[in-house]
Amino acid sequence: MEQSPRLVVDSKCSHGEGVLWCAQRQAVLWVDIHGRRLWLHRPGDGLTRHWDLPDRPGCIGLGQGNSVLLVLASALYRAEVDADAPGPLQLRHLTDIEPALPGHRSNDGRADRHGNFVFGTMNENPGHAPTGAMYQYSAAHGLRRLPLGGIGIPNSICFAHDGRTLYWCDTQAGSILQAGYDPDTAQVGAPSPVVAAGAAAGSPDGSCIDAEGRIWNARWGGARVVRFAPGGGIEREIRLPVPQPSCCAFGGPGLDTLYVITSPEGLDPAALAQAPGSGGLYALELGRPLGLPESRVELPA
C-alpha cells in the first residue's frame, strides 16, 4: 500500500503557495499569499520560521547566495533570507508590476533554466476576467511581457530540462499548455495542450518537472498531486487529506521527497473541520531521486 503524505509543518496558511527547495539552505520555502508571509522549514534540524511581508506574495525565486526574489502583488523585491539571522527581512525594490491595472496581482511563477524568472498576473475582480499576463524578469532586461493571450488565473509554470519549453495553464480553462520558449528574447511559440482539461480530478494549480521530464501537478479541489505521462495520461496519483493542494516541489538532500503546500481558501467551516491540515506543508518520501535542482535567478547586485 502506498505511503500517504505527512503533515510536516502545520503552518495554517490562509493561502499557501509557491513551494520550492533550496539545496544551499537544505530548506523548503513557500509563501502565504493572504497572510503576507514567507515561510522556511529546515527538515534536518526541524527549524521553522516565517517573515512578515509588506504585501501579498504570489511566488518566489532563489537568487545568488542568500538572496531571494519576492514577487509581491504589485512589485518585485530582492531580500537576503538567512534562516538563522534574527529580525525582519530587508527588502530592496526592483520594479513595479502592472501599476496601471488596479485589481491585478501576481500569482504563480518559477525560475527558467537561464537565470530569468517567469510569472503570471491575474485579475482578482469577481469572475477573474482573462486580463492577466505572463512576464519574464531578469537582471539584464528587467521586466518583459511574454506574447501570450489574456489569462484568468495563471498557474503550473515550469520548464523542460533544456529550458526551451514553457509549461503553464489558466486554471479556469483547465488544460496545461506547452510552447517553445526563447529565454534570451522572452518570446514563445504557438501554445498546444499537453494535459487536457478534465484529465484528473480537480483543477490544475502549481506544477514541477521531474528528472524524467514528467509534469507533477497539484490539483486544486482534487485532493491530490498527479504525475502525467508525456501524452497527458495519469501515471501516478498521490492523495492528500486536504482538498486544495496548491503547489508541489521536489526536495530533501537526495531530491527524493515531494513537498506539497496547501490552502484553505474558500472552505466553509464544515470542510475545514474535515481537513484541519489545510494550509499546511505536506511531504512524501518517493523512494528514489526524482527531483531536479531548483534554478536560480540572476538578480541585480
User: What is the three-state SS of 28-58?
Assistant: EEEEECCCCEEEEEECCCCEEEEEECCCCEE
Mean pLDDT of 212-227: 98
Q: Give the residue-averaged pLDDT of 68-90.
A: 97
Residue range 203-219: average pLDDT?
98
**Residue type at 212?**
E
Say whether 217 counts as a known binding-site residue.
Answer: no
Closest CA to 181 of 147, 153, 212: 147
Task: Give the closest residue to 108 by CA, choosing from 117, 100, 98.
Answer: 117
**Three cell numbers written together for 51:** 517573515
Which of 53-62, 77-86, 95-104, 153-162 has the weakest average pLDDT? 95-104
At residue 47 the predicted structure's pLDDT band, cuts being 50, 70 and 90, is: very high
Gyration radius (Cα) of the chain, Å: 17
| pLDDT recorded at residue 64 | 95
At 158 the pLDDT is 98
| pLDDT band at residue 102 using 50, 70 and 90 as cut-offs | confident
Residues whose CB falls within 8 Å of the CB of residue 301, separated by 6 or more in sequence, listed in order: none
Q: Which of 96, 205, 256, 268 is catalytic?
A: 205
105 labeled part of a ligand binding site: yes
Express as a percent the part of the chain with pLDDT over 90: 95
Is the pLDDT at 1 greater than 60? The verdict is: no
Q: Is 82 a catalytic residue?
A: no
Q: Is 144 marked within a binding site?
A: no
pLDDT tens-digit map of 145-190: 999 989 999 999 999 999 999 999 999 999 999 999 999 999 999 9
- pLDDT given at position 293: 96
Average pLDDT of the segment spanning 268-297: 97
Q: Between the CA of residue 74 and those of 94, 101, 120, what are the distances in Å?
A: 11, 10, 11
107 annotated binding-site participant: yes
Domains and CATH numbers, the chain: 6-285 (2.120.10.30)
What is the pTM (predicted TM-score) of this model? 0.97
pLDDT computed for residue 2 by the predictor: 66
Section 110-124 average pLDDT: 97
Q: Which percentage of the chain shows pLDDT scores above 70?
A: 99
Q: What is the DSSP string of 191-220?
A: -EEEE-TTSSSSEEEEEEE-TTS-EEEEEE
* 205 annotated to bind ligand: yes
pLDDT for the residue numbered 256: 98
